[in-house]
Amino acid sequence: MGFSAFVRTFISSSQVCVQRAVGVRAACEEMKTTVLRLLQQPPAGPLSPSAGKHDGLHILNSTVKALKDGQVVAVPTDTIYGLACLAQNSEAIKRVYNIKGRNGNKPLAICVGEIQDIYKYCKVVVKEELLEDLLPGPVTLVLERSETLNADLNPFTKLVGVRIPDHPFMRRLCQVCDEPLALTSANVSTQASTVAVHEFEDLWPSLSVVVDGGPIGDQSRLGSTVVDLSVPGRYQIIRSGW
């Protein structure tokens, strides 16, 4: 069995009505949080400009603007809901940690849109064919970071986790931003990962945009499989996920 096939043995393989408490609604209005419902798209389909004010293009542009303004947003991925900001923006990274109540010694992953982007921010010591076999997909690859990546992102380690989610909106978001996103689970630290936007409703007032892509499915709550590929000729599965 090849390495990529071995990794994939750890990986298995609508719209939601959001009930908002009065206190959360008032806080969201005060903080100008925008909750946008992403219309369902075919797996490889385009982000249509003709589906109305909540179409993919409108949501994409709103989310990109929030990120470029240094804000934190909530987004759907192929596994769980995540919090994202620009990885090269140090102040935005601090906001993510504050929102989650996360220990500053716990790293954030980065998310990019294309495999070639990985080479800009990481030192890759495996064949590109392996990357192409694993990504996009529910896998986080741990690689050595390059000098191009923001030094304030995970300054306590030379490694960084990299994702290319198998999700058309997330890939397009990264492509349009044209820089990596810092990505972590949309939950308060130590609490369970979330697979629907109402599950992290308490975080909405701290976010600029919440992209509602519908319920993802409880089977993916474990998140991505994490594989360390930072050492030439070696690999280690750090966490088995969905």
In the block, residue with structure tokens 């542009």: 61
Question: Residue 54: what pLDDT?
Answer: 52
- Taking the C-alpha atoms of residue 213 and residue 16, their distance in angstroms, rounded to an integer, is 8
Domains of the chain plus CATH, in order, are: 3-215+223-234 (3.90.870.10)
Question: Residue 113: what pLDDT?
Answer: 97
Question: Residue 33: what pLDDT?
Answer: 82
Closest CA to 57 of 45, 67, 43: 45
Per the CB < 8 A criterion, the answer to whether 209 and 33 are in contact is yes
| Cβ neighbours of residue 87 closer than 8 Å, sequence gap 6 or more | 93, 108, 110, 121, 149, 150, 153, 179, 180, 181, 182
Question: Residue 24: what pLDDT?
Answer: 43
Question: Residue 2: what pLDDT?
Answer: 60
Question: Residue 219: what pLDDT?
Answer: 85
**What pTM was estimated for this model as a whole?**
0.83
Question: Residue 104: what pLDDT?
Answer: 86
* 197 DSSP 8-state letter: G
CA quadruple 150, 201, 23, 96: dihedral, nearest 10: -10
- Taking the C-alpha atoms of residue 163 and residue 183, their distance in angstroms, rounded to an integer, is 9
- Taking the C-alpha atoms of residue 80 and residue 216, their distance in angstroms, rounded to an integer, is 7
Question: Residue 155: what pLDDT?
Answer: 96
Encoded amino acid at 120, one letter: K
In the chain, which stretches have pLDDT less than 50? 6, 8-25, 27-28, 41-53
